[in-house]
Structure 1
């Protein structure tokens, strides 16, 4: 009778814009930027008579000698290479391997050969059946999950997690998104009907993370503000909870769509609650490409002006940026660069358009004969690299797309260009706030291990090069005597170090491309003086 499980979150196959690989690459212990909510939530569904342990491979190595009979593995497409290796090694040792999560749910035929038990969909309503079957040694090879009421979702088992080596905690207040962006697989996995936790649940989870020492928490919703009335109730509860914290206030980050920029009261409520960082899928300044992708919420507005509204309310934006849409010609790389330099967004997560399985984009590319082998994409040496794609572009070759992304990435993150966008943010910060953000500065407290490592890592910024040293000095001078602004700016600097680490792999970082035109026809129209804006 099986009564023990070891649950593993595999390391990403390639560093991401939001990862923490730069810590280990810089000589520190392995850390992660955001604590993993998936393995802690699944652990909470394990019956009390089972022994359960968890492993986040971003922090610690997998124990292949673990005595558990059942090995649980989760993960996204960006983790599949390591997911597969871990599964194969445990199966070689005679363990029963159970795999679930987003990639297993959306690409089951790719994961199936590596799993004894395959779980598709969400687990809350089927967990009891799964573990009863495991206990009785009569488990099925496949279980189909549902889209459960999130009021049934248990309190994550953060007591099992190495919290001292995770920078940001995580709380999920909803699942699903009603939008229908062609390239996004969220609605295929979690549905278009958004489901929500009650405010009391959210506060209970925040209490747990606060007691564990977290002072920065990611609200890991796919689109936190899409239902305004629900978002308001949640934000009001978070605001009131945060106001009573006696050992330092909490700052929050989340994902949302740009359409709330026109809702002054919602932006103010976000700021009051402590939301200081948001990810927005900006994608492209091309209206034609936005319409093609069915990104309707971004169409017909001035994206730089909308972004500025967040900055004015003390919120720093990280933007999604995609190239390779059907309407993207050779000029898209220069257009994206010019657009970015108008904004107060220091970090853009630049990447090629990819068609995940189960998305409308995948179906359209397959019907048009423009899909490279998806299996090839998921069996490469570096899955998840932002410059790789399974889409054959309409107006350029894949090699030209790669060269354009490389040119754009190197120019966007040239230290002087990055400094220019940082200064845009610093100059516009907080002009619409109705309170003094300095009043919310945390009091003195014992720092966790990850926070001490973060402070030491930041000191290495000036060693990156002479341009980076100048950037550090100018930004430091601009934020002097502005204590509320400093954590946001330092957070962006850490993200910059992470992406520079990522770009240094596979020879992607090539500073000689800065101040040049893209290396394919037709000749670019951007001049060196346009590119080197920060001077």
Structure 2
């Protein structure tokens, strides 16, 4: 009998400081990283049942020589912020004489960067992996497998291999209901990778995934990692959410949910009511800019002709807190962009705002336009060293506004919006406004004890050791009086400041250094020109 193929699945590390790598907050409850690698365990589910699988997530554990020696073949993939780690992994695996299959969003967008991988699987794994496996069995493997324009039927996507995860190492576990987004934002690569027609899984299929998670003993936070959860609102309200509520009632409310959605979710009160009724507690919304001309120029039309702050506060009224994204560096923005962003952050009372510099991602409409205009930087597709996301990098093109002015505006937004008083004031505002009357999550004792230990650790770290401890205690006391039912969620938002407070200092230092270099270059240029005359 042929021995089982031993397959090592490796998820590369996010090496750099980032808005979303909030390890300090994770450590409160003994976790090591926020999110589990859903993509890798979905790939695992597509592999033959006869294969022997081992998962190594380098964000929570070491990749050992023993792991590599054990494997007959290695699978890996990642995003642009994992680029350097994945390229290094390819070299490591090659040195050990093992074949490696590489896929994922960054390899699909920039395959030339990964040419030293033994095999490339470009596009959605549901399409490329069966082709690779067929050639693997027949001994006719080739270097590159491409999906091209073909998109997967997600109703045939298997249940991810949640059993490969060590749940206690993560704050939450992800699932995916839909892929694609109906909008056409110029800077976004989602529509290029996954299309503009949202593809949704069947209700029974999705409930089977949650049932598998439940059966494995997981409880608590489940994140729908969809590109835009509300891309197909009819499917949500007519089938999935009603059936999800019935399932949750039958399981005695083991999960609560978060996701990403566009701001027009605030226009559908029926949808918001249903999301509240099944335990959605948070969504991420891309705001990008407070300037209507910029939103129109970048095709972010769903954010126009509305009060963004009113839309956000409407979402609060359904017990769902909002995290927002902003971008600095658009062609159409003006010198008052920092004022506009800071005003909107204050008016909407969103504590967590991922503010980043514009980055022209490969194959986006933005990248194609800048290429035609001759404005892309050399190596624009390379992730800068030490940069985990657009918060610490970006502007990989020639800007229309002076670059140093963009950097100064960006530094000001980070400095002022993440100052302790400003952050905790927004937590107080949103924590007072959240309607948590319908929260039904029921956690087993072991989870309750874990959270209690985390709370005591938080009270010590924030309430005793930090310089902002006075503001922390005042905010906590007011929230206890104003909205005790929402205290769990308000404390979670405060806990994130263990990361954001430090990240603020990191970004300001990094930006100040870059501003200094830009200013020195601007001073030196006229001198060099004069000396050459």
Taking structure 2 as the reference length, the TM-score comes to 0.88
How many Å apart are 1:448 and its aligned residue?
8.6
The 3-state SS of whatever aligns with 1:54 is strand
Could you report, residue by residue, the CA deviation over 1:282-313 in whole angstroms, capped at 9, with x for unpaired residues? 11110011011100000111100111100111
> Do the aligned residues in 2 keep the contact of 1:13 with 1:80 (CA within 8 Å)?
no
- Please say if residues 419 and 501 of structure 2, whose CA atoms lie closer than 8 Å, have aligned partners that are also in contact: no
1:240-262: CA deviations, max 9, x gaps?
A: 2222333x542110111111212
CA distance, structure 2, for counterparts of residue 387 and residue 244 of structure 1: 45
Indicate whether 1:22 and 2:27 are aligned: no
Corresponding pairs, count: 503
More helix by share: 2
Q: Deviations over 1:483-518 (max 9, x none)?
A: 43122212212332223343343653899xxxxxxx
Paired residues of 1:239 and 1:273 also in contact (CA < 8 A):
yes
Could you say which residue in structure 2 is the equivalent of 1:209? 213
1:237 aligns with 2:243: yes
Q: Does residue 382 in structure 1 map to residue 387 in structure 2?
A: yes
Correspondence for 1:471:
471
Aligned: 1:33 with 2:40: no
TM-superposed deviation, 1:403: 2.7
Number of the residue aligned with 1:447: 447
Task: Please tell me whether the aligned partners of residues 7 and 72 of structure 1 are also in contact (alpha carbons under 8 angstroms).
Answer: yes
Q: Distance in 1 between matches of 2:248 and 2:497?
A: 29
Helix, strand or coil for the counterpart of 2:145?
strand
The 2-side partners of 1:27 and 1:484 are apart by 21
Secondary structure of the corresponding residue to residue 173 of structure 2:
strand
For the Cα contact (< 8 Å) 1:21–1:31, is it kept in 2?
yes
- For 2:151 and 2:511, how far apart are their aligned partners in 1? 45
Matches within 5 A, 1:186-225: 186-211=190-215, 212-225=217-230
Structure 1 residue 427 and structure 2 residue 432: aligned? yes
**Paired position in structure 1 for 2:134:** 132
> Could you say what secondary structure the match of 2:21 adopts?
coil
Matched residue, 1:11: 13
Give 3-state SS (helix, strand or coil) of 2:66's partner: coil
1:252/1:274 contact within 8 Å kept: yes
Query: Is the partner of 1:53 in helix, strand or coil?
Result: strand
User: Residue 125 of structure 1: SS of its match in structure 2?
Assistant: helix
Which shifted more, 224-233 or 207-216? Answer: 207-216
Match in the other structure for 1:117: 119
Q: 1:210 to 1:394 in 2, by over 3 A?
A: same
Aligned to 1:172: 176
| Worse-superposed segment, 443-452 or 201-210 | 443-452
- Which residue matches 1:335? 340
Q: Distance in 2 between matches of 1:375 and 1:393?
A: 11
Choose the corresponding residue for 1:84, options 73, 79, 87: 87
| 1:364-383 alignment runs, 5 A limit | 364-375=369-380, 377-378=382-383, 380-383=385-388
Paired with 1:324 and 1:422, the residues of 2 have a C-alpha distance of 28
Aligned counterpart, 1:47: 48
Deviation at 1:374, TM superposition (A): 3.2
| CA distance in structure 2 between the partners assigned to 1:108 and 1:421 by the alignment | 43
Distance 1:58 1:455, change over 3 A: farther
The SS at the match of 2:101 is strand
Aligned-partner SS, 2:259: strand
The equivalent of 1:93 in structure 2 is: 96
Match of 1:458 in 2: 458
Could you report, residue by residue, the CA deviation over 1:22-44 in whole angstroms, capped at 9, with x for unpaired residues? 258x7996612122211111111
Distance 1:10 1:170 in 2: 17
**Structure-2 change in CA distance of 1:164 and 1:384 (3 Å):** same
What residue is the counterpart of 1:160 in the other structure? 164
Write the distance in 2 (CA, Å) between the matches of 1:168 and 1:225: 21
- Residue 407 of structure 1: how far off its partner (Å): 1.7
Give the 3 Å change call, closer, same or farther, for CA 510–131 of structure 1 in structure 2: closer
Tell whether the 8 Å contact from 1:168 to 1:214 is kept in structure 2 after alignment: no
| Alignment RMSD (CA, Å) | 2.5
- Name the CA shift for 1:225/1:234 in 2 (closer, same or farther; >3 Å): same
Unaligned runs of 5+ in 1: 512-518, 520-535
| Cα separation, 1, equivalents of 2:400 and 2:65 | 47
Cα pair distance change 1:464/1:109, threshold 3 Å: farther
Q: How big is the shift at 1:102?
A: 0.5
Long gaps (5+) in structure 2: 513-518, 520-533
Return the match for 2:257 from 245, 252, 260: 252
Q: Secondary structure at 2:276's aligned position in 1?
A: helix
Q: CA deviation at 1:415?
A: 0.8
Residue 522 of structure 2 aligns with which residue?
Answer: none
SS at match of 1:364: helix
CA distance in structure 2 between the aligned counterparts of 1:197 and 1:423, rounded to whole angstroms = 38
Q: Which residue of 2 aligns with 1:103?
A: 106
Q: Deviations over 1:410-466 (max 9, x none)?
A: 110101111221122123222xx8xx336x253552129975774455232235633
Deviation of residue 86 (structure 1)?
1.3
Taking the aligned partners of 2:448 and 2:60, their CA distance within structure 1 comes to 15
Q: Does structure 1 retain, via aligned residues, the 8 Å contact 2:329–2:395?
A: no
Residues 417 and 423 in structure 2, CA contact (< 8 A), matched pair in contact too:
yes
Give the match for residue 514 of structure 1. none
In 2, the alpha carbon distance for the partners of 1:308 and 1:27 equals: 29
Q: Aligned partners of 1:348, 1:464: CA distance in 2, in Å?
A: 25
Q: Which moved more, 1:11-20 or 1:296-305?
A: 11-20
